[in-house]
Homo-oligomer: A and B are copies of this chain.
Amino acid sequence: MKKRPAEKKNTHPEQTKTRASRPRDAAATRRAILDSARRAFARFGYDGVGVRDIAAGAGVTAMLINRYFGSKEELFAEVAVETMATPVILTPEFIASGCPAQTMASALVQLTKPDATPLEGFLIMLRSAASERAAEIGREQIEAHYQKTLSHALRGPHRAERAAVILAMVAGVQMMRQAMGLPALANAKPAALERVLERALGALIDPPE
């Protein structure tokens, strides 16, 4: 029976950036590693990438990752914190807008197009949720930057629960549309999907009764 090295990390050989024109710049190297790690974690999750992949994507050797960040786990933590620090959706501004449900629905449809790359913070967490440490980091970031602000921006009863379900809904859509690639979501006509999401989000944003 044949060996089975199918679906290995080599399946996605990130082009090794040469980076020959900028040697010996600590800050730039650090930045390059962080960027490469952000891309890699968003695509393949915490367990799905090795430090070698990340290093290759940054044009350096794996050793430098430990030199600059101590370990893969600490690198992940720094990436996660950085990526989730500035929410691009689910902000108080969205809630404060004239028709928040429609605005959010439109933004969500745009930002989770199958090939789109924004909303990386959530995607990194969704793809890394199996890792205990990754889930812990993500939970703290979500609570600090999303749950709290969103909850405060709402009016009416059950604010915490409604904010959490809005979060869950956004995460679920992104999960099913981008990570799982469910055809009904991935291939949906944007206008129709927007309409459906607007209705559901409205039921969560508008104060009940």
Which chain B residue has the least Cβ–Cβ distance from A6?
Answer: B73
The residues in A between 140 and 161 inclusive whose CB is less than 8 angstroms from any CB of B are 142-143, 147, 151, 158, 160-161
In the complex, whether A81 has a CB less than 8 A from a CB of chain B is no
How many angstroms from the CA of A188 to the CA of B163 in the assembled complex?
Answer: 12
* A129 engages B168 (CB within 8 Å): no
* B192 engages A161 (CB within 8 Å): yes
In the complex, whether A60 has a CB less than 8 A from a CB of chain B is no
How many angstroms from the CA of A58 to the CA of B84 in the assembled complex?
Answer: 40
On chain A, the number of residues with a Cβ less than 8 Å from chain B's Cβ atoms is 62
Task: Give the residue of B11, B175, B182 whose beta carbon is less than 8 angstroms from that of A126.
Answer: B175
What copy number does this chain have within its complex? 2
Residues of B within 8 A of A179 (CB): 129-130, 135
The residues in A between 115 and 172 inclusive whose CB is less than 8 angstroms from any CB of B are 125-133, 135, 138-139, 142-143, 147, 151, 158, 160-165, 167-172
With A7-B73, A160-B188, A196-B165: A127-B125 Cβ-Cβ less than 8 Å: no
Which chain B residue has the least Cβ–Cβ distance from A49?
Answer: B130
With A182-B143, A203-B202: A130-B172 Cβ-Cβ less than 8 Å: no
Task: Give the residue of B142, B170, B184 whose beta carbon is less than 8 angstroms from that of A182.
Answer: B142
Residues of B within 8 A of A183 (CB): 139, 143
What is the distance, in angstroms, from A191's C-beta to the closest C-beta of chain B?
10
